[in-house]
Amino acid sequence: MDLPQESLGVGLKPGDAHYRAYVGPPEDYDLIAAMTFNLLTTLGLRQHHSLLDVGCGSLRIGRLLIPYLNRGKYFGVEPNEWLVKEGIKQELGEALLQIKRPTFFFSDLPETITQAKVSFDFALAQSILVTAELDLIQNWLSAISHSLGEDGALVATFLPGEEDSPTKGWVYPECVNYKPATMRQAAAEAGLRFEILDWKHPRQTWALLAAPKFDSGWLKNRPLTWNAGLERVLAKTKSAMSPRRCQRLPIFRTRKATSTIRTDCGRFTIMNSWTIQLFEKLMRAAFTRQATIIDGTGGFTSVCGPAFVLLDSTAISLSAV
């Protein structure tokens, strides 16, 4: 059943005291979430990444990011605690909070995130840099840059203008404009590479503020689309899985139960056929939980039931006598 229109804040103005209206036009609440989630995943956000959502508000985007990311990987910073509480109550739910354990910092101080000593793969500032004076923006960029991994990136919106707005402080729900050159300079001062992204927003402009090793080369010569992003992920996975150039191994024979050989490719244990059979039996037993495999050599571990000590090998050669 749909929520009644008044619960969705429809008809209210941006900045009104309603969890949806406070963060922007309530009619766009879904659209902004979809646009941002799609952008982040197209740029490479994966479940194991950690993400900082600056000015996370009522979890408009957090309600998609928190379920997507692995437990403990979402961090939100927000001065208005009531917004986060309403977002949890109306959008996310307590159960997901318990399952995914996001972290929230209720603060408007950029230092809060540096003090947290967390390294982020991605940071997000959706509709944040558009309401602050340049000094505040610089403080946030410097704190975010400090907390980003060297291949991390901040994805942020801004409002390009011919001139820089002479704003002081935080002017929300008013908006401020900055020249792209000013934003580029502010990013550079924080050690971030500034690139405008071709990703539509109903009112603002998306930009990437990347740490030195964030790979954005693939965006240069092709449109920023899901297809391009996925192709890049698949190409990376393929190259990671292709066999490394490796010394060709001769077939080793042994009469001993096991012996170890060293090659350029690593250290191998070779077994005679009887040992292989025993090994296979033990592996089966381990998989059916009738035995425990203990990694390494020489140590003793107390186990219940039969145990098998794996030799100090990095791989098992199945060549037999």
Ligand X SMILES: C[S@@+](CC[C@H](N)C(=O)[O-])C[C@H]1O[C@@H](n2cnc3c(N)ncnc32)[C@H](O)[C@@H]1O
How many CB atoms neighbour CB 230 within 10 A?
A: 12
Nearer to ligand X by Cβ, of 157 and 269: the residue is 157
Is residue 25 close enough to count as binding ligand X by CB under 6 A?
no
Is residue 24 close enough to count as binding ligand X by CB under 6 A?
yes
Is residue 144 close enough to count as binding ligand X by CB under 6 A?
no
Is residue 9 close enough to count as binding ligand X by CB under 6 A?
no
DSSP-based three-state secondary structure for 140: helix
Is residue 80 close enough to count as binding ligand X by CB under 6 A?
yes
Least distance in angstroms from the C-beta of 79 to ligand X: 5
Which 8-state DSSP code applies to residue 173? T
The stretch among 55-63, 180-188, 191-199, 203-211 that binds ligand X (CB under 6 A) is 55-63
How many CB atoms neighbour CB 82 within 10 A?
A: 13
Least distance in angstroms from the C-beta of 315 to ligand X: 49
Q: Are strands 103-105 and 74-77 parallel, antiparallel or unpaired?
A: parallel
Which one of residues 172, 218, 252, 308 is an interface residue with ligand X (CB under 6 A)?
A: 172
Q: At what angle do helices 180-189 and 134-147 cross, to 10 degrees?
A: 40
Which 8-state DSSP code applies to residue 283? H
Distance CA 164, CA 177 (A): 6
Least distance in angstroms from the C-beta of 306 to ligand X: 57
How many CB atoms neighbour CB 237 within 10 A?
A: 10
Least distance in angstroms from the C-beta of 219 to ligand X: 23
Q: How far is CA 248 from the centre of its chain?
A: 38
Contact 151, 198 (CB under 8 A): no
Is residue 27 close enough to count as binding ligand X by CB under 6 A?
no
Least distance in angstroms from the C-beta of 144 to ligand X: 11
Nearer to ligand X by Cβ, of 23 and 187: the residue is 23
Which one of residues 26, 55, 102, 229 is an interface residue with ligand X (CB under 6 A)?
A: 55
The stretch among 48-56, 202-210, 239-247, 280-288 that binds ligand X (CB under 6 A) is 48-56
Q: Which residue has the tokens 């952008």?
A: 39
Is residue 57 close enough to count as binding ligand X by CB under 6 A?
yes
Contact 260, 311 (CB under 8 A): yes
How many CB atoms neighbour CB 300 within 10 A?
A: 8
Distance CA 143, CA 23 (A): 23
Q: Mark 107-136 with x for binding to ligand X (rule: CB under 6 A) and - for no binding.
A: -x-----------------xxx--------
How many CB atoms neighbour CB 140 within 10 A?
A: 26
The stretch among 54-62, 158-166, 200-208, 257-265 that binds ligand X (CB under 6 A) is 54-62
Is residue 170 close enough to count as binding ligand X by CB under 6 A?
yes
Q: Of 216-245, which residues contact ligand X (CB under 6 A)?
A: none
DSSP-based three-state secondary structure for 225: coil
Q: Could you list the residues that contact ligand X (CB under 6 A)?
A: 23-24, 32, 54-57, 60-61, 78-80, 83, 108, 126-128, 170, 172
